[in-house]
A and B are shown apart, each in its own frame.
Chain A
Amino acid sequence: MRNMTILVVDDDPVIRRMLEKRLEKEGYEVLIAEDGYQARKILPQQHIDVVLTDLMMPGSIGGIEVLDIAKKISQNIEVILITAHSSVDTAVEAMKKGAADYLEKPINFDELFLRLEKIANVQSIMRNALDLSQAMDTTESAAALTIQNLEIRTAELQSRIESIEAILRDEQNPAYDRIYKVLDLLSQKNDLLI
């Protein structure tokens, strides 16, 4: 459950180090980006489950932009924003854009770990659902093939029975001829009985 990869994006070296240490201690794989620009480089190159990003960073790529970049790469990447109390409104806006959650500074690690646990749970349920639906697809296509063959074959046999009945009932022809015609029909389409 704990083998999630987390990308930490923060321009403050102290916070970065602290997050890295605590997360690694909890058993997460941790990648580090010093700002939004580095995050933009790392995101498409690595498999990342969760991005933990500061909301306010220098330059034109802040937390919201990191969120946009991550979600464009994969909807399955969850993003948690770290924000000062004063920017809670922005963080709520970010949640509307698909952020999983936000944390206020100073970071409460118990809270962070709980959120990560929750994300891991959801991702494992998602994987499970995907496995199940793939298993269902496999079963379904195998069943479909069998049923379709039966369906076509049944229809062909049905139409053959109808022709045989028509021949046998045709009293214009002598009985002997009718029997030969029927036998001929049966031998022509013998492959159907296999």
Chain B
Amino acid sequence: MLKISPDELKLVAQYIHDISGIFLDQSKSYLFETRLGSIATEHGCNTYKELYQKAKTEPSKIIERKIIDAISTNETLFFRDKGPFELLQHKLLPELIDARTPASPALKTNLKIWSAASSTGQELYSIAIIIKEMLPNISKYTIKLLGTDISDGAVAQASRGKYNKFEMERGLPGDKLQRYFTMFGDSWTIKDEIRAMVQFRKLNLMLPFVGLGKFDIIFCRNVAIYFTLPDRQKLFNKIADSLADDGYLIIGSTESLTGICPRFIPKRHLRSIFYQKK
């Protein structure tokens, strides 16, 4: 494995922060080496400084994309941590549907949900499955489920909706597996009826959110933990701007908005917490 020098650590950490907002602890040089070493070798770089210069100047941005793919963590599961999904099913969606259903039955109910760091898509597909099961008369709704992630690789995999057995290992109950996935060999593919409900695209949460509009529910779980405090403050401020006044925000179960965004207040439902704007 190619070793990284202290000077290179500084340089590369700054570069990664610039392109992705992700703040990597410079005391953990192995993080850089295990994730970037093979990219350096693959592109014929003998040092990380060379890799940095190549990535920065290369017009196709291929190396930059590879670095983002390698740095962004894709550990994610279907129905990872039951709490948020029970919350969605038993509290947020029923409340929202009550609030959003128009008086005239001829009109459709609009729902917009955003998975802000969708990784390889498991979270958004889990949301889609819940909605599908909750709303038998789904044609009476206009539902927009958007997943965004900074990694092109993750967005591509999410759009394919194909997972290997390691990615399927936990979280998904057997009946849902059979009902919503097609097995072929060692891989599982989400069925078209669910895939058609969702949309994935690339988005860097550090940049302005352009053309997203307002959402009724935003999931932003376990992504801000990779950002610095000022970046977290900026992020949740932008999220507050993108959330409907009576909308809901769900963050990771070990995350907190205390000292990060005073525009949100936490509310408890059973064993979960969600946030609403003040």
A128 within 8 A of B: no
Count how many chain A residues have C-beta atoms less than 8 Å from C-beta atoms of the other chain.
Answer: 25
- Among A141, A145, A150, A155, residue most surrounded by chain B Cβ atoms (within 10 Å): A155
Residues from chain B with Cβ under 8 Å of A179 in the complex: none
In the bound assembly, the distance between CA atoms of A72 and B186 in angstroms comes to 10
Question: Of the candidates B169, B183, B271, B273, which one forms a contact with A151 in the assembled complex, judged by CB atoms under 8 Å apart?
Answer: B273
Interface 9-residue window, one of B62-70, B149-157, B233-241, B251-259: B251-259
- Identify the closest chain B residue to A94 (Cβ): B185
Q: How far is the CB of B219 from chain A (nearest CB, A)?
A: 16
Instruction: Return the CB mask of B240-251 against A: 1 if under 8 Å, else 0.
Output: 000000000000
Question: Of the candidates A96, A97, A144, which one forms a contact with B253 in the assembled complex, judged by CB atoms under 8 Å apart?
Answer: A144
Indicate if the CB atoms of A97 and B265 lie closer than 8 Å.
no
In the bound assembly, the distance between CA atoms of A145 and B119 in angstroms comes to 25
Indicate if the CB atoms of A152 and B256 lie closer than 8 Å.
no
A133 within 8 A of B: yes
Residues from chain B with Cβ under 8 Å of A95 in the complex: 185
Residues from chain A with Cβ under 8 Å of B268 in the complex: 148, 152
A166 within 8 A of B: no
Indicate if the CB atoms of A75 and B258 lie closer than 8 Å.
no
B61 within 8 A of A: no
Given contacts A140-B254, A143-B254, A148-B268, are A130 and B185 in contact (CB under 8 A)?
A: no
Residues from chain A with Cβ under 8 Å of B257 in the complex: 151
A107 within 8 A of B: no
Question: Of the candidates A130, A144, A152, which one forms a contact with B254 in the assembled complex, judged by CB atoms under 8 Å apart?
Answer: A144
Residues from chain B with Cβ under 8 Å of A148 in the complex: 253, 266, 268, 271-273
Instruction: Return the CB mask of A17-37 against B: 1 if under 8 Å, else 0.
Output: 000000000000000000000
B168 within 8 A of A: yes
A183 within 8 A of B: no
In the bound assembly, the distance between CA atoms of A50 and B35 in angstroms comes to 33
Indicate if the CB atoms of A150 and B258 lie closer than 8 Å.
yes
Residues from chain B with Cβ under 8 Å of A151 in the complex: 256-258, 266, 273
Residues from chain A with Cβ under 8 Å of B168 in the complex: 75
Indicate if the CB atoms of A133 and B266 lie closer than 8 Å.
no
Q: How far is the CB of B166 from chain A (nearest CB, A)?
A: 7
Question: Of the candidates A97, A143, A150, which one forms a contact with B184 in the assembled complex, judged by CB atoms under 8 Å apart?
Answer: A97
In the bound assembly, the distance between CA atoms of A150 and B168 in angstroms comes to 33
Beyond A148-B272, A151-B273, A155-B265, list 14 extra A-B contacts (CB 8 Å).
A71-B183, A71-B185, A97-B185, A98-B184, A130-B170, A133-B170, A140-B254, A145-B271, A147-B256, A148-B253, A148-B268, A148-B271, A151-B257, A151-B266
**B interface list, Cβ under 8 A from A:** 81, 83, 165-166, 168-170, 183-186, 253-258, 265-266, 268, 271-273
Which 10 A-B residue pairings sit nearest by Cβ, starting from the closest? A98-B185, A144-B253, A75-B165, A98-B186, A97-B185, A143-B254, A151-B266, A148-B273, A154-B258, A144-B254
* 6 A-B contacts (beta carbon < 8 Å): A72-B183, A141-B81, A144-B254, A147-B253, A155-B258, A155-B266
